[in-house]
Amino acid sequence: MVVQNKLDTGDPRKAVLLEPFVHQVGGHMSMMKYDEHTVCKPLISQEQWVYESLPTAIKQFTPQYKGIISVCLRKDSLGNVGLIASPSLPTDNCSSLDKEHSVMLWQEIKRTSTTSSERLFVKWSQTPFTKTIKDRWEPGSMEMMHRKKEEKKARHIKKCEQSTSGSLGLRICGMQVYRADTGQFLCKDKYYGRKLSPDGFRQALCQFLHNGNRLRTDVLEPIVSQLKALLSVIKSQSSYRFYSSSLLIIYDGQEPKENKETLANHPQGCFQNIKRTMPHGTGHPKVDVRMIDFAHTTYKGSKYNHTIYDGPDHGYIFGLENLVKILENTREGE
């Protein structure tokens, strides 16, 4: 179980220079690296409220929320602009802003040296993996929050209808895959995911699990197991609607030593002869599944949305069930 902790301030005079988080896959706003285990993003009050109110059952499938830090935009003697984070920066120098201003701050760093400030909430990143493989999915059908503007709602519905969101209940929003044959990362963005057909989605999933030498079937079982556990939790939650949220699936591209073996590539059907590619040995692959992006999540008791929904989020469940089925078919070699 992941437990919410307050940010360890340590030395009150300590300030941290935030670095770009280069392994981000998808998302509208840039994330920054605070330390080896922590990333931060612009504060959105509704998302902060969700993190602080999540049921214990769901917390085990979300990043660990660590709290809020103050961030200032500063310029050094050479004219380089950077974001300086500190839990104890004076509040008179670092004002508390919300979504619109936080987006402006993130854009400001690209074009000006004017000192600005913002409040960010900090989240636990994944367990340190040697070669991190990530895929970001957006589960849920075409249901929308009623508070969204009508034109934005229409665009979203059209986007869902023209992508696998309409047929499968989910689509790929970003992907990063370590290729063991080249030693490089293969990256795909949300525009790639929007163009996929259901068959293309399945092939993309195969690509996500392929390291250039073989299909990583050793990670299938733990991924499916975690997805089923998450599915069980979502089915038990009443009133929650995870609109526009994402599901982050991570596994270590560095295979356990016991599992390494030389196998032929699979240029055509990645689902062919899968049983033949199952690794042997006792190594346990590192796998993690996390729900992220709660800026539009609503539930009973939310101070940002007074509409109350009954029962679990069937749109989210629909997407999760399809993802599990596709992975299970992959495991069976279908």
Of residues 87 and 97, more confidently modeled: 87
DSSP 3-state percent helix, strand, coil across the chain (nearest 5): 30, 25, 45
Q: Where are the alpha helices (DSSP H) in the chain?
A: 45-53, 56-59, 99-108, 150-161, 164-167, 190-194, 198-208, 220-235, 314-331
Residue ranges and CATH numbers for the domains of the chain are 16-90+97-107 (no CATH), 119-132+151-255+284-332 (3.30.470.160)
Average pLDDT value for the chain? 77
The whole-number pLDDT of residue 280 equals 43
Over residues 83-94, the mean pLDDT reads: 57
**pLDDT by residue (tens digit) across 219-249?**
999 999 999 999 999 999 999 999 989 999 9
- 254 band by pLDDT with thresholds 50, 70 and 90: confident
**pLDDT by residue (tens digit) across 96-120?**
444 455 555 555 555 544 444 444 5
> Which segment of 77-91, 264-278, 302-316 scores lowest on mean pLDDT?
264-278
**pLDDT by residue (tens digit) across 263-298?**
444 444 554 544 434 444 446 788 999 999 999 999
3 state DSSP class of 187: strand
Cα separation of 46 and 298, whole Å? 9
- 253 band by pLDDT with thresholds 50, 70 and 90: confident
Question: Which of 164, 254, 247 lies closest to 213, judged by CA?
Answer: 254
What pTM, to 2 d.p., does this model score? 0.77
The whole-number pLDDT of residue 255 equals 79
Over residues 76-84, the mean pLDDT reads: 82
Cα-flanking dihedrals φ and ψ of residue 235, to 5°? -65, -25
What percent of the chain is modeled with pLDDT above 90? 42
**pLDDT by residue (tens digit) across 155-168?**
777 778 889 999 99
- 26 band by pLDDT with thresholds 50, 70 and 90: confident
Of residues 312 and 285, more confidently modeled: 312
Highest mean pLDDT among 64-68, 100-104, 260-264: 64-68
- 126 band by pLDDT with thresholds 50, 70 and 90: very low
- The neighbour count for residue 304, using CB atoms within 10 Å, is 17
**pLDDT by residue (tens digit) across 315-327?**
999 999 999 999 9
- The neighbour count for residue 308, using CB atoms within 10 Å, is 12
**pLDDT by residue (tens digit) across 195-220?**
999 999 999 999 999 999 999 999 99
Kindly tell me if the per-residue pLDDT of 4 is higher than 50.
Answer: no
> Which segment of 24-38, 172-186, 257-271, 285-299 scores lowest on mean pLDDT?
257-271
What percent of the chain is modeled with pLDDT above 70? 69
How many whole angstroms from its chain centre is CA 144? 20
Kindly tell me if the per-residue pLDDT of 135 is higher than 90.
Answer: no
